[in-house]
Structure 1
Amino acid sequence: MSKTTDRPHTTGATEGLLMKQKFTKQFVDKLSCTKATARLFVRDTVCRGLCVEVRSTGGKTYYLSYRDAQGKQRLCKLANAADVSPAQARQLCEQARSQVVMGVSEPVCKITTDDFFYLSYLPYVKTYKRSWDTDVSVYRTHVAPVIGKTALAAVGYDDVTRLMTVAAVKLSTGSQYRLYVLTRYMFNLAKRWEVAGIEHNPTDRYTIKQSKQHRERYLNRAETQTLLTAIAHSVNPQLQYIVPMLLLTGARKREVLDAQWQDMDYERRFWRIPFTKSGRERHVPLSDAVLTLLAQVPRYADCDWVFPNPKTLKPFRSIYHSWHTARTAAGLGEVRMHDLRHSFASFLVNAGCSIYDVQKLLGHANVSMTQRYSHLSQERLLSAANTAGDYVQFRSDDDAQA
């Protein structure tokens, strides 16, 4: 249920005068309130009953202002003003006011799960999350068919259980966990933003085990050469440069595909990656091998991209077909493009580089993430173990008999 209050629209020590103004995003964003006033109410001139509360702390909330059956002035909370536009607030206000007309004493603003995801959640995560399109795909495929049309405030534990049960038939353990995290985060945001009717997170009672198994696959020296031979015959002329760039830098696929010449600093010998998965800028050293590779990459007039699609002179959206053809030809059909990043880390560790050097080169925030990429070869482990023999001297049976 949404929260209703008896808060009067009067002047006083803690509340400002009620003003009237047509709501626009620019107008609402600029509204402010002094500490002396503490709270200010402004009414919309377009939608009857819609008002916004402006607090001295900077917070702003949309309300429906109406009189109950006893003629008492009441407020029904609609949404945080930072999460919805004035147009969306008017829609919520109309819904709530219609319930008042129908005799509902405490109107519930029926924001559906779809409404919240597309109007509030998605605009928010787009501001910082590079993989927001994955959230859209997961939501549209799995969440929307089950609870998309359900009022957000009405979603309960049973609905979450049904959502996860349906998904379990189609998804791997890891994908199920990602679906659960998305759903849980949505409702946590709804609580944080004080969306009307959201008093608890319906995922709290549902438990799911996080998959701890990480797929381990990396290329050895022979496999690397076989792959490089295969890509040299690819119908995609850029693949012969893209794959070595991934192997030589440990960069992510999207980072390489979006690389620009202006970010290659030859004087200081680093590649600036402005947007990473973590949202932080990082610098990748330009090794001798990378410089040799870049010198061979064809350049196109008026093209900023290092590895563009020759037909469009824009970054590739996908290179899966050419990559899959090449890896299959090399007999490495199970190797993913992300495994080239695994391989880069393994090359370094097997050559004696410290785990902290690898962490820095991969751009990981903490060393625990790096450890899953750094697979030591059996030969190196055996060599390390054999050093114990230099300290532990003992005679074999043959030596004893002699």
Structure 2
Amino acid sequence: MAKLKFTKTALLALAPPEAGKRLAVYDTEIPKLAMRITAAGTRTFYVVKRAGASMAWVKLGTLPEMTVEQARAEAQKILGEFATGANPAAARRAIRGEPTFAEMLKQFLAEKKKRDGTPLGEKTKRDYLDLLRLYLETIKSRKLSHITKQDLKAIHSKASKKSAAQADKAMAVVSSVFNFAADLELFEGTNPASRIQKNPAPSRDRFAQSVELPHLFAAIGESSLADFFLLSLLTGARRSNVQAMAWRDLDLDTRIWRIGMTKNGTPQNVTLSPEAAAALVARKRTTGASPFVFPGEGKTGHLVEPKKAWAAILLRASLRRLLDHLEGLGKLTAEERQLADKQITEAPAAAEKRYRAIADALEIDPALYDMTDLRIHDLRRTLGSWQAKTGASMAIIGKSLNHKTHQATAIYARLDLDPVRQSVETATLAMLEAAGIKQPTEVVTLPAKRRAKKN
């Protein structure tokens, strides 16, 4: 009886037997794990165990579709069934009936409930399916018990080279699916995604600076979604909540916006500054019969994806900062600046190509003008940062932004909205002053030349 330590290299190196014969070799680590090799070169894993007067050969799978690690794991499961006196054929059939990862993910998306008892959102479902398509193709057709920690470490390592955050998220999804399967008693054993080392979390503290605010407000004012981005900034609310803002949840007399459920699973009362409330009063006249502040044409009935408009805003703001810098260096005349401003409004892509080329030729550091790294979520961070700059405590900022931490939750619960309101309003006034806008109790009039222009 031939024995060797099973590895993929060693098993593939074994020469097939002559026609009409089969070669059997046994693993030195799990002696009852065998491989049969046919004359055609097919390599199949088996568990070999005496059953009464005969030897039972329980087929596991073929190499390389089944790895050595998977074969050992399944062999131990089958041997465990033998040890309890179970019928090995029945055990084999049970494993064959186990769902694949893709099947289990599909059931997870259909049946999993959030902490508040509601189903997973459509965006969450799309995100999970994208992760499956982009990073988890190698395991989607495998039975759950065939997926090993080594498989997932390899996936995580490869995905991390493209996106550390997405790699970590993919592992979190896999872990959730295995826990869900275990709860339904469709999987037994250790979750292979548990305790996989996450990538170091990058610290992001980007927010709109004083020198950026005039250009940012001006570019927002030219957008067809100006009110959306203005209210995102002045409320500090999460993007998804602003997108789904409904008139029924707004009390403009007391300047309170009630969000029934936020991302962290709790409701929130958002205090509205006079500027935010005035913008909503003005917007009410333009939304018609829609129940949403920002109506949309899709099935949700509200705005869904503002990224294109945001990219256009950042491009215009960046280019105008660059023009200011070129003027300061004496590289643009007043007439050239006027023509450049017109081109940015009418043909921003061409303007970007032209003036970035000039900046590169002059070796101007993009950090002096480029704002395209500013994200929509950074508007939320901008309000919190300006609250901090104007003296608000961390507890006040946490309450106004609906942050939820174990350390601060009890403190938040004891706070009322008065100090939160004062902090938000102080930060709003400071931002408006930095942007050169001084109409704090009226509708914020953004310095827009062509506000109605579509992006």
- When normalised by structure 2's length, the TM-score is 0.53
Distance 1:313 1:121 in 2: 19
Asked whether the 8 Å contact 1:356–1:367 carries over to 2, the reply is no
Distance 1:319 1:104 in 2: 56
Distance 1:174 1:369 in 2: 26
Aligned residues: 266
Residue in structure 2 matched with residue 221 of structure 1 by the alignment: 210
Q: Report whether the alignment pairs 1:140 with 2:133.
A: yes
CA 1:123–1:369 in 2, change beyond 3 Å: closer, same or farther? farther
2:178 to 174, 187, 190: 187
2:237 to 251, 255, 259: 251
Residue in structure 1 matched with residue 196 of structure 2 by the alignment: 207
Asked whether the 8 Å contact 2:111–2:119 carries over to 1, the reply is no
1:318 to 300, 305, 310: 305
Q: Which moves more between the two structures, 224-233 or 248-257?
A: 224-233
1:356 to 389, 395, 404: 395
CA 1:176–1:313 in 2, change beyond 3 Å: closer, same or farther? closer
Q: Which moves more between the two structures, 183-192 or 323-332?
A: 183-192
User: SS at the partner of 1:353?
Assistant: coil
Question: Letter of the aligned partner of 1:192 in structure 2?
Answer: D
Residue in structure 2 matched with residue 280 of structure 1 by the alignment: 266
Q: Deviations over 1:30-75 (max 9, x none)?
A: xxxxxxxxxxxxxxxxxxxxxxxxxxxxxxxxxxxxxxx99xxxxx
User: SS at the partner of 1:141?
Assistant: helix
Distance 1:153 1:312 in 2: 39
Distance 2:163 2:174 in 1: 17
Distance 1:249 1:157 in 2: 43
1:333 to 353, 365, 372: 372
User: SS at the partner of 1:220?
Assistant: coil
State the shift of 1:313 in Å: 10
State the shift of 1:309 in Å: 4.1
1:346 to 385, 391, 394: 385
Asked whether the 8 Å contact 2:236–2:379 carries over to 1, the reply is yes
State the shift of 1:295 in Å: 2.2
Q: Report whether the alignment pairs 1:158 with 2:147.
A: no
Distance 2:89 2:275 in 1: 72
Asked whether the 8 Å contact 2:113–2:119 carries over to 1, the reply is yes
Residue in structure 2 matched with residue 377 of structure 1 by the alignment: none
Distance 1:367 1:191 in 2: 28
Residue in structure 2 matched with residue 120 of structure 1 by the alignment: 108
Distance 1:369 1:153 in 2: 41
User: SS at the partner of 2:89?
Assistant: coil
Asked whether the 8 Å contact 1:305–1:313 carries over to 2, the reply is no
Gaps of 5+ in 2: 1-50, 53-86, 319-370, 410-455
Query: How big is the alpha-carbon RMSD for the aligned residues of Structure 1 and Structure 2?
Result: 3.0
Distance 1:310 1:225 in 2: 32
CA 1:115–1:232 in 2, change beyond 3 Å: closer, same or farther? same
Question: Letter of the aligned partner of 1:363 in structure 2?
Answer: N
Q: Which runs of 4+ in 1 moved over 6 A?
A: 310-313, 367-370
Q: Deviations over 1:66-104 (max 9, x none)?
A: xxx99xxxxxxxxxxxxxxxxxxxxxxxxxxxxxxx982
User: SS at the partner of 1:104?
Assistant: helix
State the shift of 1:311 in Å: 10
Q: Deviations over 1:291-349 (max 9, x none)?
A: 12112214332211112248999312211111111111101211111110110001111
User: SS at the partner of 1:146?
Assistant: coil
Q: Deviations over 1:123-160 (max 9, x none)?
A: 214635443432222123222x1111111122122322
2:90 to 71, 83, 105: 105
Distance 1:229 1:285 in 2: 25
State the shift of 1:122 in Å: 4.4
More helix by share: 2
1:270 to 243, 256, 266: 256
Question: Letter of the aligned partner of 2:268 in structure 1?
Answer: R
Q: Deviations over 1:269-293 (max 9, x none)?
A: 2101123111221110122121121
CA 1:157–1:317 in 2, change beyond 3 Å: closer, same or farther? same
Asked whether the 8 Å contact 1:121–1:186 carries over to 2, the reply is no
State the shift of 1:251 in Å: 0.5
2:169 to 171, 174, 178: 178
State the shift of 1:263 in Å: 0.7
Residue in structure 1 matched with residue 295 of structure 2 by the alignment: 308
Distance 1:356 1:114 in 2: 43
State the shift of 1:240 in Å: 1.5
User: SS at the partner of 1:177?
Assistant: helix
- When normalised by structure 1's length, the TM-score is 0.60
Question: Letter of the aligned partner of 2:105 in structure 1?
Answer: F
Gaps of 5+ in 1: 1-68, 71-101, 371-402
CA 1:363–1:129 in 2, change beyond 3 Å: closer, same or farther? farther
